[in-house]
Amino acid sequence: MLYISVPLGKLVRRVSRLRGGGSALPGLVVEKIDPGFMQRTLATLPHGVAVVSGTNGKTTTTKMVVELLESQGLKVFTNRTGSNFTRGVAAALLGEVDWRGRLTADVAVLELDEAHAVHFVNRVPPRYSLLLNVLRDQLDRFGEIDKTAQLLQHVADKTTGTVVLNREDPRVARIAETLTGQDVQYFGLDDSLLSTFPNDDDMRAAPGSPAPAALPHKPAADVVLRKVGPDTADFEYDGATVTTGMKLRGVYNIFNAAAALTLARSICGGGAATADHATLLTALAQVEPAFGRGESLTVDGQPLDLVLVKNPSGFRLGLKSFPAGGYATMIAINDNYADGRDMSWLWDVEFDSLRSGGVDQLTGSRAYDMALRLQYDDVPIGGVQPEIAPALAAFIRAAKGKPKRIFCTYTAMLAIRRELSKITTVEVVS
Amino acid sequence: MTAESAGVQPDSKGTIRVLQLYPRDMNIYGDWGNALVLKQRISWHGYTPELLEYNVGDEFPADVDVIVGGGGQDSGQLVIQDDLHSRAGVLTALAEDGAPMLAICGLYQLFGRFFKTRLGTVIPGIGILDVETHGTDERLIGNVKVATEEFGEVLGYENHSGQTTLGSGVRPLGTTAKGTGNNTSDGHEGARYKNVVASYLHGSLLPKNPAIADFLIRTAAERKYGTFTSGAPDDRYAVLAREHATRRPR
């Protein structure tokens, strides 16, 4: 069985690629005929497996960790195609192993959504885990925020080495309280930046009221984000603060850089000991945003920013990180399964910041839900057109000569990128 | 506080005070949308809205005209439970006296007689509504359409594992045409008692169901001023959002 599973899986992978099929089928095949494949293959990695999970920022953070580790000369296996579930990992592995099933890599860094992370760690206990945040997202899948926190708790429990936790998210930070054998490292945020990260608990709270699960004492963090400039950031670690250039934009992306640094320092051995910080920071400065996470394209000689919004906190951070002034704005809201079907989340975002400039175009299957939401925040609305292609064309036509920004849900972003690829250069996402 | 001192416009028909119950602990699902819709529509109808919040330990405000409260996750419900029981008297008196109230999801359950968890623990409610809720392993999730006599077709989104059974003292809000509603056997959703509207529906409920919002506002105005004269809110986006929502999958 062992001898045929990898060649067979690879064959299925090749055939399904030829047919333009999904990335997970070959993973399913190899999992069925050789359930030990993933665990056996990943067990050979000298630096083990690192799992990145949480509600927001997994893709960008995983990308950063990979690039940071590569700057240290490590060969990294990762699930780049965004198939962030177990079968997707198996499929990605098939693409990387040779015909005898050997993986030439030093470490695996895997992005896994919360529910799939639990399945994965039951099969493959990771040496490292990085848990970013627990926010209101896709509650229709996981039920409740506290339930999501329990999923991450399980990932931490199964971790054999170091667990990296967000000190500023009480539900994540508290995971440390129940861990016994693991080394715990935190990444943190300067107090002056905390207000830019409203969490779900303070969302509608009276001013000054505490989040219910706040930690009584803030533990020391391995890396702290101290300051964010227009294209720089200050990080503190090992008792000193360093300033580095950043191509990433948006405070939340840069906070995740602190997360990535902490994990990379852990993997490189004993925190700072063997990491070469000059090259780490150079690598960090070079990281480009993952697709749709604040990436900037060029249309008609003007920048067009795509900002992915998946949940209330992400939307609020997006509005805060990318101010509307001088930009034409479009919002694209779909309610496909991957976006989440419930529109309630739009009502937990304040749109006051768009009031003075208005929103030029609304689109997506729930364009009129968005219009209704903006009406109740007294935000002027230009056009509403649920069909994405004509809405995008109208937006680009009407906003000629102006920089443009599109806030979009996941499947709306995929559709917009497809349309944009007809008129500008867009990285193809498989 | 008199209406004048609250900064009422000279041509205002009067002040309507909206109290949000436990917005800090019971706000899991766009519950702010319901409060915001009441606030804006009160003003679009020519009245002056005043939004008040009541959280655990606060003093209960006098002269409340509309009460609105939402869903919480289990931890939020535990936090507010004792406080809610300490306010059962005033809330029941208001409901019996005809004060309009909107109770969504978690608060709907706590407005009932009890919630019995899967493990058999009985959490008493404040008994404004003659309903009881039993925790289950099954989570009921998805878009919902309800046919109602009072408000026409009601649209929303449900996400709950408690199943609620109605006693003879209340009537259902309506019959489910899509989705599950109160429980998996009775085919109805929500509960109505006097001027209390209780429902599992998020979405948020009021934005796409302005008929319910206007019922709460009209009732509040009539109770306070004897009459209600309506304004002319622009509901074209609500109409279109309803049209598109009704075609979406479960």
* Residues A327-343 pLDDT 10s: 999 999 999 988 889 89
- Report pLDDT for A27: 67
pLDDT at B201 over 70: yes
pLDDT at A420 over 60: yes
- Report pLDDT for A272: 46
Among A208-222, A262-276, B5-19, B115-129, the range scoring the smallest mean pLDDT is A208-222
Residues of chain B in contact with residue A347, where contact means CB-CB under 8 angstroms, are: 30-33, 36, 204, 207
Residues of chain A in contact with residue B238, where contact means CB-CB under 8 angstroms, are: 372
Among A58-67, A137-146, A241-250, A408-417, the range scoring the smallest mean pLDDT is A137-146
CB atoms B28 and A366 under 8 Å: no
Report the residue of B28, B37, B118 to disrupt the A interface, i.e. the one with the largest count of A CBs within 10 Å. Answer: B28
- Report pLDDT for A360: 97
Is the dihedral angle over the CA atoms A335, A339, A340, A342 positive or is it negative? negative
pLDDT at A270 over 70: no
pLDDT at B38 over 90: yes
Please tell me if residue A373 touches chain B, with a CB cutoff of 8 Å. Answer: yes
**Which stretch, A125-139, A212-226, A302-316, B221-235, has highest mean pLDDT?**
B221-235
Question: What pTM, to 2 d.p., does this model score?
Answer: 0.74
- Report pLDDT for A208: 34
pLDDT in tens, A185-222: 999 999 888 877 655 554 443 333 334 455 667 899 99
- Report pLDDT for A313: 78
Please tell me if residue A211 touches chain B, with a CB cutoff of 8 Å. Answer: no
Mean pLDDT, chain A, integer: 83
- How close A311 gets to chain B, by Cα (Å)? 11
Please tell me if residue B75 touches chain A, with a CB cutoff of 8 Å. Answer: yes
- Report pLDDT for A308: 87
Residues of chain A in contact with residue B33, where contact means CB-CB under 8 angstroms, are: 344, 346-348, 373, 376
Q: What average pLDDT does this structure show over B93-116?
A: 96
Among A58-72, A338-352, B73-87, B163-177, the range scoring the smallest mean pLDDT is B73-87
B202 carries an active-site annotation: yes
Q: Which of B29, B53, B240 faces A368 most closely, judged by CB atoms?
A: B240
CB atoms B204 and A368 under 8 Å: no
Q: Which of B27, B33, B202 faces A203 most closely, judged by CB atoms?
A: B27
- Report pLDDT for A145: 77
Please tell me if residue A103 touches chain B, with a CB cutoff of 8 Å. Answer: no
Nearest chain A residue to B78 by CA: give it: A212
Cβ pair A196, B42 in contact under 8 A: no
pLDDT in tens, A279-334: 888 999 988 876 656 667 888 888 898 888 888 878 887 888 788 889 999 999 99
B105 carries an active-site annotation: yes
Please tell me if residue B106 touches chain A, with a CB cutoff of 8 Å. Answer: no
Residue of A200 and B96 predicted with greater confidence: B96
ipTM: 0.94
Q: What average pLDDT does this structure show over A48-67?
A: 91
Residues of chain B in contact with residue A212, where contact means CB-CB under 8 angstroms, are: 25, 75-76, 79
Residues of chain B in contact with residue A411, where contact means CB-CB under 8 angstroms, are: none
pLDDT at B1 over 70: no
Categorize the per-residue pLDDT at B6 as very low, low, confident or very high, splitting at 50, 70 and 90: very low
Nearest chain B residue to A344 by CA: give it: B203
CB atoms B28 and A369 under 8 Å: no
